[in-house]
Amino acid sequence: MTQSRTHNCNELRIENVGEKVTIVGWYDNMRKVSKTLGFLVLRDFYGVTQAVIETEEMMDALAGVNNESTLSITGTVRERSSKNANLPTGDIEVVPEKIEVLGKCIYNELPFEVTRSKEADESVRLKYRYLDLRNPQVRDKIVLRSKIVADLRKSMIEHDFLEITTPILTCSSPEGARDYLVPSRNHPGKFYALPQAPQQFKQILMTSGFDRYFQIAPCFRDEDARADRSPGEFYQLDMEMAFADQEDVFAVIEDVLPPVFAKYGVYNTASSAPFKRISYRDSMETYGTDKPDLRIDLVLDDVTELMQGTGFAPFEGQTVKAVKVTDFNASRKVVDKIIADTEVISGQKSYWFKIDENGEIVGGIAKFLQDKKQDVISTLSLKSGDFVALAAGARADALKCAGTLRKILGETAEGHMKKECYEFCWIVDFPMYEIGEESGELEFCHNPFSMPQGGMSALENDDPLSILAYQYDLVCNGVELSSGAVRNHDPEIMVKAFSIVGLGEEDVKAKFPAMYNAFCYGAPPHAGIAPGVDRMIMLIAGVDSIREIIPFPMNKMAMDVMMGAPSTVDKKQLDDVHIRIIEEDLEVK
């Protein structure tokens, strides 16, 4: 061990009885029996050890010392008379002859009890993150993260990938989210941007002659937080392969990820290769989402034609999707909650009915279906005990609502979800273009650097909305872990692809000068992907919030309440980078 200690607080065993030792750590707690007898628990990174205070001198050494102070205890190991089988060190205790306070905690009251920090309000936990991380339950998630990243790195190297770091200060690039901008001191009026991803750099590496690249890459995006997304910054297992196609990328990922999930996951079963492949269109029609949770066995049925002419206004002239659940005898209270939760999540109303023990359609919108009773029952193959939830509206709205119903019903109805496993799938064949919800104009659907299926011929001759791209998403248990693509490495095809969304050759050269020029010098076909490390670890650890597996996370407002970021800076700092704040534009929040 290090010079300051002979053993850590998880190391001493019965065979150490009689040895003189020095242990160090945090003063966890003490059960004081009398003036000369107390049982002190010392905690370090590795575990806990009990020290027995048996003299007034040793008790005096602890007078006025608050919990969470750091101590050094030197003494003799002896066998405990009352052993604790729940502790690795539960057979022994240390009888101190010297106690030294190494670092004093000056506060009598802590913001929370360290070993129960997870019960505290999250804002308090984040403010005192250094105390929160002392909790073994919290600490273990960060240790797990370290082990997973080490295994991912080891596996990528074994697959002949070379770890290369790419710049943090770069130029602003349209990646789909807002950039974090950094003003330049030496170039007034100009800005660096923190990379949303190393996308262009890794493609340029392929053009530079490197064959297989990876890094555990930091990415920076000014976007709002979600349970599965950290605001500000995140990490991804970024990779790219030269002279490669979609199948090459799939083969690597299917070999690298399942062993890590099976080794460290709360579930010890993970999909083996090959992962199920589902086209984007089929995924939307079958599951109502492009990130389906395949542990749920429910699917969507299109009942648009069936539900016309029922007299139920929300169905008339609309797309109608149904989710059938067999043997679901839920109470009205449970059904009402499902419908209410679906509306909160999807923003759309949903409807329902069920089949009673007599084979009759009852409940919900049953009265509108009586004239079509036999058609409804036969089309959906319904029997007594079956429950049907329905979503209606414009196609996109109906699919979103039905997908939400499927997920909630799968989690609620017994027997329709395999919970003890990791189910991976690939979503493939994404549309190259779409009509933007906000702009109403043609836009890239997923990734502007992707190769269109059919190449130049498709771009020149096909309806843009019918063109598919060599784009793919990796999904696990309903969580999108990554997007990837076969890249568009041909400058002529690239220019044509951008021209369809109204950007000419000069625009492409201006926005992506380095990559465009590099491609003009003989670029290899290449493909890649970048699974999110934080999301992977969140799934592996079985936690609901991504902040639980990040050492120093921001809160939901993208604020670091521990460090006080973002913060104001003084005028000289602003002058150095040629920035002036216009006070009337500031909002007090």
With residue 22 as reference, give the H or E element that holds it: strand 20-34
Strands 424-428, 276-279: pairing kind: parallel
Give the integer Cα–Cα distance in Å for 182 and 417. Answer: 47
| CA–CA gap between residue 122 and residue 109 (Å, rounded) | 18
CA nearest neighbour of 329 among 413, 416, 418, 415: 413
Q: From 472, 473, 484, 442, select the one nearest 459 (Cα to Cα).
A: 442
> How far, in Å, CA of 249 to CA of 252, rounded?
5
User: How high is the pLDDT of residue 3?
Assistant: 66
CA 570, 574, 575, 576: dihedral to nearest 10 degrees? 110
The DSSP symbol for 357 reads T
CA dist list (Å): 572 to 188, 382, 569, 578: 15, 73, 8, 10
pLDDT at res. 585: 62
What are the residues facing 277 on neighbouring strands?
A: 426
For the chain, the distance separating the N- and C-terminal CA atoms, rounded to the nearest angstrom, is 50
DSSP secondary structure letter of residue 311 = S
Rounded Cα gap, residues 521 and 18, in angstroms:
74
Task: Give the model confidence (pLDDT) of 14-27 as tens digits.
Answer: 999 999 999 999 99
pLDDT of 175 reads 58
Is 312 within 8 Å of 365 (Cβ atoms)?
yes
Residue 565: name the closest of 553, 578, 581 by CA.
553
Closest CA to 70 of 114, 24, 32: 24
What single string gives the DSSP state of each residue in 189-207? T-EEEE-S-SHHHHHHHHH
Q: What are the two backbone dihedrals, phi and then psi, of residue 431, each rounded to the nearest 5 degrees?
A: -65, 145
Q: Are 108 and 54 in contact (CB under 8 A)?
A: no
CB atoms within 10 A of CB 579: 14
Q: What pLDDT score was predicted for residue 589?
A: 47
Which domains are seen in the chain, by residue range?
A: 14-103 (2.40.50.140), 114-264+531-589 (3.30.930.10), 296-412 (3.30.1360.30)
Question: E-strand spans in 343-489?
Answer: 350-355, 361-362, 387-393, 424-428, 433-435, 442-444, 471-476, 479-486
The reported pLDDT for the residue numbered 452 is 96
Question: What are 171's strand-pairing partners?
Answer: none
> What's this model's pTM, rounded to 2 decimal places?
0.91
Q: Which residues of the chain have pLDDT under 70?
A: 1-3, 174-176, 225-228, 584-589
Residue pLDDT, tens place only, 138-151: 999 999 999 999 99
